[in-house]
């Protein structure tokens, strides 16, 4: 049996009841085969980055999984589709967005998947919740570099 890998998934939503959608996405991650939800961050409110529409709610989940990276990606896309995700154009407002940020220490460079996520180090809405649940994965210099991006931690998970 393959040893589980710790992977980190970014969650975001800015259409409909985003908080409810993110809570449902945490549950869906926990229900994936060969996967255990290890930790989940608080929810954070952020303005859209390279996007439009209402403010986003964002979070990060840590999972232990034996799913291979592409199978995990397909599972994440299935969760998005179940939440009504549509992709009418790049960076469109969305009911749910799930991005595979890290898959252990594995580097992946495929047309359909790049890990570590190529834009995660420039986005407070990824780094701040990631630092909440895995501070060892986020160097202080990266947090300092995004300190000017507005992000608000919500009191309720």
Q: In whole angstroms, what separates CA 14 from the centre of its chain?
A: 14
Residue 84's pLDDT band (cuts 50, 70, 90): confident
- Residue 86 structure tokens: 């549509």
Structural domains of the chain sorted by starting position, each given as residue range(s) with its CATH number in brackets: 5-153 (3.30.70.560)
Q: Which residues are catalytic?
A: 85, 94, 97, 99
Residue 83's pLDDT band (cuts 50, 70, 90): confident
Give the whole-number percent of the chain exceeding pLDDT 70: 91
Q: pTM for this structure?
A: 0.93
**pLDDT over 80 (residue 52):** no
E-only strand ranges, the chain: 5-13, 35-40, 44-46, 56-65, 97-103, 108-110, 113-115, 151-153
Token pair 């570099």 in the structure block, residue: 145
Residue 79's CB is within 10 A of a number of other CB atoms, namely 20
**pLDDT over 90 (residue 1):** no
The 10s digit of each residue's pLDDT in 113-141 is: 999 999 999 999 999 999 999 999 999 99
What is the rounded average pLDDT for all residues in the chain? 91
């Amino acid at each position: 049996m393959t040893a589980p890998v710790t992977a980190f998934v970014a969650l975001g939503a800015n259409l409909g009841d985003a908080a409810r959608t993110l809570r449902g996405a945490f549950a869906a991650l926990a229900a994936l085969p060969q996967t255990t939800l290890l930790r989940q961050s608080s929810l954070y409110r952020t303005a859209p980055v390279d996007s439009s529409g209402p403010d986003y709610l964002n979070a990060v989940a840590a999972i232990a999984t034996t799913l291979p990276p592409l199978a995990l990606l397909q599972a994440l896309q299935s969760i998005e589709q179940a939440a009504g995700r549509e992709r009418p154009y790049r960076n469109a407002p969305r009911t749910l967005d799930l991005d595979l940020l890290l898959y252990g220490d594995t580097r992946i460079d495929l047309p359909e998947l790049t890990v570590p996520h190529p834009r995660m180090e420039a986005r407070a809405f990824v780094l701040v919740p990631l630092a909440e649940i895995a501070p060892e994965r986020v160097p202080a210099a990266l947090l300092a570099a995004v300190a000017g991006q507005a992000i608000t931690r919500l009191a309720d998970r």
